[in-house]
Amino acid sequence: MILIAILAGTLAAGIGSVWLAAALSFGVLSRYTQHMLSLAAGALMGTAFLHLLPEAFESEIEPHRLFMTLLVGLVFFFLLDKAELWHHGHEHHHDDASAHGHDHGHHHHGHERTSGGWAVLAGDSVHCFGDGILIASAFIADLRLGAIAALAVLAHEVPHHMGDLMVLRQSTGNRQAALLKVTLAGAITALGGLIGYWLVDQLHDYLTYFLVVASSSFIYVALADLIPQLQKRLSLRETLAQIAWLLAGIGLVTLVSSLAHGH
């Protein structure tokens, strides 16, 4: 009975949050792409700095070790992005080695389209896996507590899944592909729930590191991929709108995090 409840709760939280985020991102708000990029950047930074990292630093692990994990995570996602960029340029080189200048132009366009894709999926998967373990722990303690935890996870995942979808839509140019990839990452929540059911005591000590690694991916994507796209010369009105949407992303995460912690 508990295992079935864990599976139901983790699937609802992991996949339901993605589809809700997609409805918000690709529905009536989809025409406001630049605004959604600002919202996504705010949501990702808010998730990292106001939700994941504070939760990680509440543990008894030395701050130095957590900051080291954060730094290693940032460098790892930078190298992952570099590897993806190199691979993309390598493909162009083989497609038409004689037209170096033409390929070089595509190389930069490719980076603009693919930067952050792998990082956000990797970080999202780690985060969802950790969420699954947390939901499993709550269900094992009490069924009602598990249901509340699943709802809280669903709520706080929506803002940063909106960020994930915007990053992947930018990288692939295809909203269906973006939705499929983030849905698969969300399904990792169920895997975390299953493993958490069997190994909740043994994995508990590693949850803090999961939170920090996920944080590093969201910070990297926000600062290396989204923010640079927003650094354009705009009118005062457009700049104020950009700032307002960025703050709205941070505020949305703050709101749902406070509600989740309240429960």
Q: What is the pLDDT of residues 112-130, one digit of tens each?
A: 444 557 777 887 888 788 8
Angle, vertex CA 28, rays to CA 22 and CA 29, nearest 5: 70
Report the pLDDT value the prediction gives residue 88, as an integer from 0 to 100.
47
Report the pLDDT value the prediction gives residue 42, as an integer from 0 to 100.
87
Where does 6-111 show beta strands of DSSP type E?
Answer: none
- Spatial CB neighbours of 226, under 8 Å, sequence gap ≥ 6: 37, 40, 41, 44, 116, 163, 166, 167
Report the pLDDT value the prediction gives residue 69, as an integer from 0 to 100.
95
Task: List the domain range (segments joined by +) for residue 50.
Answer: 2-262
- Specify whether the CB–CB gap between 69 and 213 falls below 8 A: yes
Please count the structural domains in the chain: 1
Q: Residue 93 — very low, low, confident or very high, per pLDDT cuts 50/70/90?
A: low
Q: How far apart are CA 194 and CA 36, in angstroms?
A: 34
Kindly state the DSSP code that residue 226 receives in the 8-state scheme: I
Which of 83-87, 102-106, 109-113 is the most confident on average? 83-87
- Specify whether the CB–CB gap between 135 and 141 falls below 8 A: no
Q: In this structure, is the dihedral angle defined by the CA atoms of residues 141, 142, 145 and 150, taken in order, positive or negative?
A: positive
Angle, vertex CA 11, rays to CA 9 and CA 17, nearest 5: 100
Residue 103 has pLDDT above 70, yes or no: no
Report the pLDDT value the prediction gives residue 28, as an integer from 0 to 100.
63
Residue 101 has pLDDT above 90, yes or no: no
Both tokens of residue 207? 């949850």
Residue 66 has pLDDT above 80, yes or no: yes
Cα–Cα separations (whole angstroms), residue 230 to 218, 224, 241: 17, 11, 11
Report the pLDDT value the prediction gives residue 33, as an integer from 0 to 100.
66
Amino acid identity of residue 96, one-letter, is D
Task: Give the pTM.
Answer: 0.64
